Amino acid sequence: MEFGSFMEFHAREGRSQNADFQEAFNHIDIAEKLGLDTVWLAESHFNPSRSVLSAPLIVAAAISGKTERINIGTAVQVLPLGNPLRIAEEVATLDHLSEGRFQFGIGRSGLPGAYEGYNISYGESRERFFESLEIIQEAFTKDRFSYSGKFHQYEDVCLTPKPFQKPHPPMRVAATTSETFPLLGEMGMPIFVGVRGLTLADVSAQVKTYREALARNGHSNGSVSLRVPVHVAESTKKALENSETSFMKQFHRLGSQLGSSVGKETADSGTERSERSSRLAEIRWETIQGEKVAVGDPEKVADQLSRMIEELGLDSIAAEFNAGEDLPESIVEESLRLFCTKVKPRLSL
């Protein structure tokens, strides 16, 4: 099992953006010292009240210079928002700077806000994503290549530098919609999953279609990583008190965002979005323990995560220690410390 911290570089009201960066880098420094495996960097645009993490590859390069051991991943780099050849160049460069500690998580985002800001059609996001992925894989693995697609054209180009890791950094794709799981299984791609808008049983059924597609296509190296809100305290009572308001804020906000996107041009089913929005609006704190979040004392959190690992066949967890971004820094730090020293050892047995 690999254990990581999912990070959005949260903004806090009334303080400078530089202080937001400093809090996040302090978290990473503690994670490195405590032996956490990976820090996963989100990508967020045009949302100053929530996050300052709009350039994850630049931040990843800074992390590589400040750390020695911890792996650095994107969760996820939103491929349709950039030029895929430029992204490939930056990823390959970062792979050298980190000496092979980089993991390339990619996706297209479940919400249209960033696309609207960049004046890119979210309805094209699926096509743009898979075209960009194909270009990046060719750039990584071929000495020179040409490409003529719907959105991008290149003639006899050579990616320089080539990645440090061969043939390239580990790649992992965010899977959200039901039709994506078997498609990524056919491709043999490792995946990220979440349980925010669905039940654990629903996601387990989706993962089953992924594994069936892996088997049908002769792939034996499937991999599933779960992003999940986690809060650990010395007592379960304290953990529940600490995290309820912030964690529930995140679920209800996502429900509202999905609901507002239903009438917009998307590459997905509006019905599925509407259903997820309704479920998120109706969730209750007492019903999501061990289902959508892992909250409690170290033993309880370990038990809850063990159930998720078994149900979904996980080999990686990206713990979201400040879901909803309203937990005080000291409480997040204590949760991280308890996770690394008392939860992680129980799950590594």
All structural domains of the chain, each given as residue ranges with its CATH number in brackets, are 2-247+288-347 (3.20.20.30)
The amino acid at 227: R
Supply the pLDDT for residue 267. Answer: 55
Terminal C-alpha separation, the chain: 10
Say what percent of the chain tops pLDDT 90. 88
Q: What pLDDT is stored for residue 127 in this prediction?
A: 97
pLDDT of residue 268: 63
Chunked into runs of 10 residues, the chain (349 residues) has average pLDDT values of: 98 97 98 98 97 98 98 98 98 98 96 94 96 98 98 98 98 95 97 93 96 95 95 98 97 85 64 75 91 98 98 97 97 98 92
- Dump pLDDT digits (tens) for 58-77: 999 999 999 999 999 999 99
- Distance, in Å, from the CA atom of 247 to the CA atom of 155, rounded to the nearest integer, reads 48
Identify the pLDDT of residue 135: 98
d(CA 59, CA 65): 10
pLDDT at 275: 78
DSSP character at residue 234: S
Q: Which two tokens stand for residue 81?
A: 């928002």
Closest CA to 233 of 294, 289, 298: 298
What tokens were used for 328? Answer: 């005080």
Q: Please provide the size of the chain in residues.
A: 349
Q: What pLDDT is stored for residue 257 in this prediction?
A: 82
Angle, vertex CA 316, rays to CA 314 and CA 48, nearest 5: 125
> What pLDDT is stored for residue 277 in this prediction?
74
